[in-house]
Amino acid sequence: MLTNLFLLSLLLQSTLAAEIDRRSSEVQPKVVAWRRDIHQNPELGNREVRTSKLVADHLQRLGLEVKTGVAHTGVVGILRGSRPGPVVALRADMDALPVTEQVDLPFASKAKAQYNGQEVGVMHACGHDTHTAILMGVAEVLAGLKDRLPGTVKFIFQPAEEGVPAGEDGGAKMMVAEGVLENPKVDAIFGLHVMSFANAGRIAYRPGGTMASSDMLRITVKGRQTHGALPWNGVDPIVAASQIVMGLQTVSSRQLDATKSPAVITIGMIRGGNRYNIIPDEVVMEGTLRTFDPEMQDEMHRRIKITAESIAQASGAEAKVEITSYAPVTFNNPTLTDRMLPTLKRVAGDSNVTLANPTTTAEDFAFYQRNVPGFYFFLGSVPAGMDAATAPANHSPLFNVDESVLPLGVRVLANIAVDYLSRQ
Ligand SMILES: [Zn+2]
Ligand SMILES: [Zn+2]
Predicted TM-score of the model (pTM): 0.89
* CA–CA separation, 314 and 317 (whole Å): 7
CA of 84 to the centre of ligand 1 (A): 37
The mean per-residue pLDDT over the stretch 256-284 comes to 95
The pLDDT tens digits for 25-34 are 999 999 999 9
CB neighbours of 91 closer than 8 A, spacing ≥ 6? 135, 156, 157, 158, 172, 189, 190, 191, 365, 368
- CB burial of 237-274 (b: ≥16 within 10 Å; e: otherwise) equals bbbbbbbbbebbeebbeebbeeeebbbebebeebebbe
Ligand nearest to the CA of 394: 1
Q: How far away, in angstroms, is 238 Cα from ligand 1 center?
A: 35
Per-residue pLDDT at 165:
81
Which ligand gives the minimal distance to the CA of 393?
1
Q: Using pLDDT thresholds of 50, 70 and 90, give the confidence band for residue 6.
A: low
Edge-first strand order for the sheet with 318-327 is: 263-272, 282-291, 213-222, 318-327
Handedness of CA 15, 17, 19, 25 (dihedral sign): negative
- Average pLDDT on 135-146 reads 98
Contact 400, 101 (CB under 8 A): no
pLDDT for 10 beyond 90: no
| Radius of gyration for the alpha carbons in the chain, expressed in angstroms and rounded | 24
pLDDT of residue 3: 66
What's the gap in Å between 162 CA and the centre of ligand 1? Answer: 6
Distance 394 CA to ligand 1 centre (A): 6
The rounded Å distance from CA 365 to ligand 2 centre is: 10
Catalytic residues: 95, 161
d(CA 54, CA 76): 13
pLDDT for 256: 96
Closest ligand to the CA of 93: 2
Cα–Cα distance measured from residue 397 to residue 314, given in angstroms and rounded to the nearest whole number: 47
Q: Counting beta carbons within 10 angstroms of the beta carbon of residue 118, is it exposed (0 to 12), middle (13 to 18) or buried (19 or more)?
A: exposed
Q: What per-residue confidence (pLDDT) applies to 15?
A: 84
pLDDT digits (tens, 9 = 90+) for 363-388: 999 999 999 999 999 999 999 899 99
